Amino acid sequence: MRNVHEDIKSLEKEILQTEDKIIEYLRAGYEGGIKTSLHSLDLNLKYLSILANGAPIDKNEDRKIMDFLRIHYDYMQKLSVPA
């Protein structure tokens, strides 16, 4: 069984990979991939937030996760394409 810390690190890694995919799709003009990846990014950020809020983690780790979430939510908004 995986622990919460591994799940958090895995989600952070997946979020970074999804952002890289979005950038590639933006360069290629592939709107379908952009929208799908943005949806996936949104879900992963929400799940990370839920996981972190319920996790038995120390204050410093919590601060790092909250900073990560804030930065990447802001970044997601910048990557979003108009509907």
> HSE on the CB side for 28, CA within 13 Å?
11
Contact 21, 37 (CB under 8 A): yes
Matching residue, tokens 């991939």: 33
Model confidence band, residue 81 (pLDDT cutoffs 50, 70, 90): low
Q: Determine the residue type at 41.
A: L
Write the DSSP symbol of residue 29. Answer: T
In this prediction, residue 3 carries a pLDDT of 87
How far apart are the C-alpha atoms of 66 and 52, rounded to whole Å?
8
Radius of gyration for the alpha carbons in the chain, expressed in angstroms and rounded: 14
Q: State the pTM of this model.
A: 0.88
- The per-residue pLDDT for range 4-51, each reduced to its tens digit, is 889 999 999 999 999 999 999 999 989 899 999 999 999 999 999 998
- The per-residue pLDDT for range 12-21, each reduced to its tens digit, is 999 999 999 9
